[in-house]
Amino acid sequence: MPITQHWGWVSHLPEPIFPMQSWRASKLQLRSAGGNTCAENLFVIFNAHLDPGSSVELVGCFAVVSPISCAALGDCRPPPHFAHLEDRIEIAHFPETLDPHDPEQHAALITRLHPFDGILAMRERTPFKKETLTALPNLKLLLTTGTRNLALDTAYCAERGIPVAGTASRSSSGGVDSAAQHAWAVILALARHVARDDAALKRGEGLAGVTGRDVGRIAIMGFGMRVVAWSGNLTQETAELQAAACGLPRGSFRAITDKLQFFGQADVVSLHHVLSELSRGIVGRAELAAMRRTALLVNTSRGPLIDETALLETLNAGGVAGAALDVFDTEPLPRDSPWRTTAWGRDGRSEVLLTPHMGYGDEQIHGWYEEVAENLERWLDGTELKTRLN
């Protein structure tokens, strides 16, 4: 419900002003001592004894104020961290992701978000480039999770005066990054066929058989495996610095400059790369074809890093032993997605282990939302945002 707030001044008035005139403006963003808010109707009352065109004496003003409207994107419904702001904001939750790369979905996205003052974005799921932002004239605040989000045009937001803020880097309990924990969980689960055998036992079937020599070797090597790494600008010296940062001796990480050679010699390929327009599809048909048929592919980073069409073809043909995927091109994963409907691990297909983007872990996502709620409150109060991105 709208609430009434009173101001003793406004920054400017329309001209000319006539006696006994009240000025009404629709949907203004006001800034008072209390911070940011939106007024549906602003009434300014002037001295009744002035002639047209004369100076104006402000008697008073009041505003009928509606709460700030925010759109929360993603399948994780905002937790109770926002409860104390219920009288100041209205949050609409949109669990289904619209892809602005598709013209029809882009139009639907603009229609969906057009009325909102603020957007709470979840990671890079929904890119906000200039062409999208220009179609959102009401947008005044853009919040995201994480310390960076290359899917947001922060420079254009700065031109528009729209603050963009993220959340501080955090680890789960014990100081171990939850994404690293999840990566190792799915590597071992895939190597030891945990999901397959669990499903077989629940169906009343016996075990599917003893795992192959290579898969067993990968599981054993989990505590002392040789680590090779590739990135477009990775050097051996950089790899040594990364090893030292982990408390490991020199030579623990070996940089490989040839990408196809890297994919061809790895038993397990685990992706840990920032998503941008440059890195989209960084793993394609050539890289997948270079992998050993006994190899495992793990992606706990971002779905679009891998060419999804090429990956589906490779897995349907049994091109690798298996893939563990925590991330997808479209999240949440549609019910009719081939990732859900294909009989993986049968008729020559590779085994596939799916998890619903849980690499950040419960502790991490709740911590992120706590920071997003704090930033939203700071903006409402007119104070500096934390983890500014522009």
C-alpha distances in Å from residue 96, one per residue of 69, 112, 326, 331? 19, 11, 17, 8
Are 66 and 8 contacting, i.e. CB atoms less than 8 angstroms apart? no
284 and 257 Cβ atoms separated by less than 8 Å: no
Please tell me which residue, 339 or 20, carries the higher pLDDT value. Answer: 339
Domain ranges for the chain, please list them: 68-169+368-381, 178-354
Tokens read off for 14 = 């329309």
Closest by CA position to 29, among listed 146, 118, 101: 118
Domain boundaries 178-354, corresponding CATH code: 3.40.50.720
Q: Quick: pLDDT tens for 258-313.
A: 999 999 999 999 898 888 888 999 999 999 999 999 999 999 889 999 999 999 99
Rounded mean pLDDT, 208-215: 36
What is the rounded CA–CA span in Å between residue 173 and residue 183?
Answer: 16
Strands 227-229 vs 253-255: parallel, antiparallel or unpaired: parallel
- As a whole number of angstroms, the distance between CA 76 and CA 78 comes to 6
Is pLDDT above 60 for 45? no
What length is written for the chain? 390
Q: CA angle at residue 251 from 250 to 254, to 5 degrees? A: 135
Q: What is the pLDDT of residue 355?
A: 87
CB 296 within 8 A of CB 324: yes
Q: Nearest-CA neighbor of 106 among 128, 85, 87?
A: 128
Q: Does 68-169+368-381 match 178-354 in CATH topology?
A: yes
CB 384 within 8 A of CB 184: no
- The structure tokens listed for 153 are 């045009």
* Residue 222 pLDDT exceeds 60: no
Give tens-digit pLDDT for 59-111.
455 555 567 899 999 876 666 788 888 888 999 999 888 999 999 999 999 99
Give Cβ neighbours of residue 11 (< 8 Å, ≥ 6 apart). none
CB-neighbour burial class of residue 281 (10 A; exposed 0-12, middle 13-18, buried 19+): middle
Q: Where are the beta strands (DSSP E) in the chain?
A: 3-7, 22-32, 35-46, 58-66, 68-73, 89-94, 118-120, 141-143, 164-165, 227-229, 253-255, 268-271, 296-299, 322-325, 351-354
Closest CA to 167 of 147, 194, 152, 139: 147
Distance CA 300, CA 246 (A): 20
Q: Using the 8-state DSSP alphabet, how is residue 164 labeled?
A: E
Selecting from 1.10.240.10, 3.40.50.720, 1.10.3720.10, 3.40.50.880, what CATH number does the domain 68-169+368-381 have?
3.40.50.720
Q: Does residue 36 surpass a pLDDT of 80?
A: no
Pair 388, 157: CB distance under 8 Å: no
Closest to 296 measured CA to CA, from 354, 212, 352: 352
If pLDDT is split at 50, 70 and 90, which confidence band does 359 have?
low
Instruction: Find, among 31, 56, 27, 29, the residue nearest to 44 by Cα.
Output: 56
